[in-house]
Amino acid sequence: MEQKKIIIDTDPGHDDAIAILLALASPELEVIGITCVAGNAPLHLTEVNALRICELAGRKDVKVFSGCDRPMVRKLVTAEEVHGETGLDGPDWEEPNMELQPQHAVDWLVETLLDAEDQSITICPVGPLTNLGMALVREPAIASKIQAIVTMGGGYFVGGNVTPAAEFNIFVDPHAADVVYRSGIPIVAMPLDVTHKALMTKEWINTLSELGTEVGIKSAQMLTFYNRFDLARYGMAGSPVHDPATIAYLIEPDLYTGKDVYVEIETRSNLTMGMTVVDYWGARRKDPNCHWVSEVDDAGFFRLMYDRLATL
């Protein structure tokens, strides 16, 4: 089996953590590095959380890099009300033994991609797009090295989750998102439109705990804490677990359907800052720059996550 080389760009975050675990449990994927960014929590927490998750998966060999501690232009917005003071509240975490790589994430992205063959690496951003945006501004030539960007972010049919118009990852750094969406790199977006169609229930979370493994127990503890916010907010039977959709798409793309569309990022309006403006019906007559995913086999998605997490 030829592995797909991926880089996970992340701000862990409970759903980021599950995405990382899913990737590390999947033999189809070679995680050549994890780059951390400020988002769900400040950078000094997200970088430690990424190390914790690698250790939890038994993968101390994975290289983790610390990146940008603030957005390109705006002040940092974080989400402690969702993810807690540590960004990964729920389990009792010990300090990780792993250490961060000495190189800055943006430097490493540029160097690694310039050394790679054309269209050979897939980038999976599951947080604000600051690291990738900064890398593209610094060295536009890396664009030709990227096979695709498979990212969690945005919303169209369901609106936003941090403002009426904007999803959190895009809202935190809309200027970086604008750079990425204008880059010409093939983009697959896993927006709220699709993640809100795969809702995890307390019963499913309990099945992870019943695995009896450290990964299963800690995953259940993380998701129980994470679940409480959306259950209270939306009043649904379950809550979305956003970021693992990017990894699931890479493993089993047939779980998802979407449409090629043109997407622009709003960077000026106070009212709609960070909105993903999706030309779903081609009104602007522009060539698509994004595959916008909107449907999911939710049973298959949760089966895949369970089966893979059970192997760790």
pLDDT digits (tens, 9 = 90+) for 45-96: 999 999 999 999 999 999 999 999 999 999 999 999 999 999 999 999 999 9
User: Phi/psi of residue 65, each to 5°?
Assistant: -120, 140
Which pLDDT score, from 0 to 100, does residue 247 have?
98
pLDDT exceeds cutoff 90 at 232: no
Q: How confident is the model at residue 107 (pLDDT cuts 50, 70, 90)?
A: very high
Instruction: Tell me what the pLDDT averaged over the chain comes to.
Output: 97
Question: Model confidence at 291, in pLDDT bands (50, 70, 90)?
Answer: very high
- Residue 235's pLDDT is 77
Q: What is the pLDDT of residue 233?
A: 78
Active site residues: 242
- Domain residue ranges of the chain, discontinuous segments joined by +: 4-309
* pLDDT the model gives residue 151: 98
Confidence (pLDDT) at 229: 80
89-94: long-range contacts at Cβ-Cβ below 8 A with a sequence spacing of 24 or more?
89/225, 90/14, 90/218, 90/221, 90/222, 90/223, 90/224, 90/225, 90/226, 91/217, 91/218, 91/221, 91/222, 93/52
Question: What is the structure's pLDDT at 305?
Answer: 98
Write out pLDDT tens, residues 148-205.
Answer: 999 999 999 999 999 999 999 999 999 999 999 999 999 999 999 999 999 999 999 9
Instruction: Compute the C-alpha angle 189/231/222, nearest 5°.
Output: 75
- At 117-135, the pLDDT tens digits run 999 999 999 999 999 999 9
Question: Residue 68 and residue 106: Cα distance in Å, rounded?
Answer: 8
Give the number of other Cβ atoms within 10 Å of residue 109's Cβ.
28
Q: Which CATH number fits domain 4-309: 3.30.460.80, 3.10.20.600, 3.30.70.890, 3.90.245.10?
A: 3.90.245.10
Question: What confidence score (pLDDT) does residue 236 get?
Answer: 77
Whether residue 237 is predicted with pLDDT greater than 90 in this model: the reply is no
Three-state SS string over the chain comes to CCCEEEEEEECCCHHHHHHHHHHHCCCCEEEEEEEECCCCCCHHHHHHHHHHHHHHCCCCCCCEEECCCCCCCCCCCCCHHHHCCCCCCCCCCCCCCCCCCCCCHHHHHHHHHHHCCCCCEEEEECCCCHHHHHHHHHCHHHHHHEEEEEEECCCCCCCCCCCCCECHHHHHCHHHHHHHHCCCCCEEEECHHHHCCCEECHHHHHHHHCCCCHHHHHHHHHHHHHHHHHHHHHCCCCEECCCHHHHHHHHCHHHEEEEEEEEEECCCCCCCCCEEEEECCCCCCCCCCEEEEEEECHHHHHHHHHHHHCCC
Q: What is the mean pLDDT of residues 257-286?
A: 97
**pTM for the full predicted model:** 0.98
